[in-house]
Amino acid sequence: MKTLDEIRSLAVIGAGVMGRGIALVAARDGFNCILFDINQKMLDESAAYIEDFLKKSVERGKISEAEMPEILGRVKYTSNSTDIIGDVIIEAIPENPDLKQKVLSEVEAINSPDTIIASNTSTIPITRIAAGLKRPEMVVGMHFFNPAPLMQLVEVISGEMTADWVAQLIYDLAQKMHKKPVFVKDEPGFIVNRVARPFYVESLRIAEENGASIEAIDRLLESSGFRMGPFKLMDLIGIETNHEVTKSLFNAFFQEPRFRPSRLQQKKVDAGQFGRKTGRGFYSYEK
Ligand SMILES: NC(=O)c1ccc[n+]([C@@H]2O[C@H](COP(=O)([O-])OP(=O)(O)OC[C@H]3O[C@@H](n4cnc5c(N)ncnc54)[C@H](O)[C@@H]3O)[C@@H](O)[C@H]2O)c1
């Protein structure tokens, strides 16, 4: 059993929308953090994102100028999988159970038996991911929200085999990262993604039925109090990720019609229009 003070190094797998933000949060709170990706371009983009975010934090007086190089120095970018070593591993690769299991079982094999393996999955049961590993008691969900450096909530998910102390330690770790963790059950979509699914699915349906334009739907929901309308939010999340999350939830609930994925969203995925990350989604971000 590890204690919070014994957690010094983290390794984040996947340097996409979420992984780079999680690595920044970890480094900002004093942890040495390895950020791994198979794609060098994502690592380069992550380094630029983290530097840019920290520069703005200095300008806004959130951190001092002296802190910036210290934080930057704590992140090590790598595409060498043998570098994925840490007290806690946080996985943030695409929402695909087989891929997550494969990558995590390889990572488990090169780490010490008391390394905690956390997944940032949005919907895949932790029990399912853990079942493919040798030490399922060390596997837990640590679900950050987008953008990870700004959003407070972290869902901490215990699978069937997760040791209680592992979930508690991840809860404490999230608090140390200045987040507001909550324990949630290992149900598909946990709490937030399950509750939020109709926000996306119904909006997509209205647009498919030509009930309103995407701009009008966004404007109406924003004027009713939502910070971002569903289409702007899908562009921020990544349309392909949001689509995978919906498909995963739909299947986990045995094709429950209210979670049925959208053809309109499928078309965007087929076209490679994933949102901000590709410069085009429901809106255009091309300069
Ligand atoms: N985007 C969101 O708003 C959001 C929010 C919370 C949770 N999540 C979850 O976080 C996870 C990652 O989502 P994302 O939006 O960051 O995805 P993303 O597509 O932006 O990034 C995924 C990264 O994983 C890398 N990758 C692919 N295969 C890999 C492998 N075998 N080893 C290492 N890296 C690999 C890709 O190169 C990419 O950089 C998913 O499970 C998703 O459901 C996403």
As a whole number of angstroms, the distance between CA 84 and CA 163 comes to 22
Residues of the chain within CATH 3.40.50.720 domain(s) are 4-184
Q: Please indicate whether residue 23, judged by its CB atom, sits closer than 6 Å to ligand 1.
A: no
Cβ-based neighbours of 176, under 8 Å, separated by 6 or more: 4, 29
pLDDT at 97 over 90: yes
As a whole number of angstroms, the distance between CA 131 and CA 134 comes to 8
> What's the pLDDT band for 1 if we cut at 50, 70, 90?
confident
Q: Please indicate whether residue 96, judged by its CB atom, sits closer than 6 Å to ligand 1.
A: no
Average pLDDT over residues 145-154: 97
- The 8-class DSSP code of residue 280 comes to B
Residues of the chain within CATH 1.10.1040.50 domain(s) are 193-278
> Which residue has a Cα nearest atom 27 of ligand 1?
93
**% of the chain at pLDDT higher than 90:** 98
> Which residue has a Cα nearest atom 6 of ligand 1?
145
Q: Please indicate whether residue 94, judged by its CB atom, sits closer than 6 Å to ligand 1.
A: yes
**Which residue's structure tokens are 């909006």?**
203
What's the pLDDT tens digit per position in 57-94? 999 999 999 999 999 999 999 999 999 999 999 999 99
Residues listed for the chain? 287
Strand order in the sheet with 153-158: 75-78, 32-36, 9-13, 88-91, 116-119, 139-144, 153-158, 180-184
| Atom number, ligand 1, closest to the C-alpha of residue 91 | 11
| Atom number, ligand 1, closest to the C-alpha of residue 100 | 31
What's the CA-to-centroid distance between 14 and ligand 1, angstroms? Answer: 6
20, 28, 74, 143: the catalytic one is: 143
Average pLDDT over residues 276-285: 97
SS3 of 47-61: the string is: HHHHHHHHHHHHHCC
- The 8-class DSSP code of residue 8 comes to -
Q: What is the CATH number of domain 193-278?
A: 1.10.1040.50
Give me the architecture of the 4-184 domain, per CATH.
Answer: 3-Layer(aba) Sandwich (3.40)
> Which residue has a Cα nearest atom 37 of ligand 1?
39
178 carries an active-site annotation: no
Residue spans of alpha helices (H) in the chain: 17-28, 40-59, 67-74, 97-110, 126-131, 164-176, 192-208, 214-223, 230-237, 239-252, 263-270
Radius of gyration of the chain from Cα atoms?
19
pLDDT at 287 over 80: no
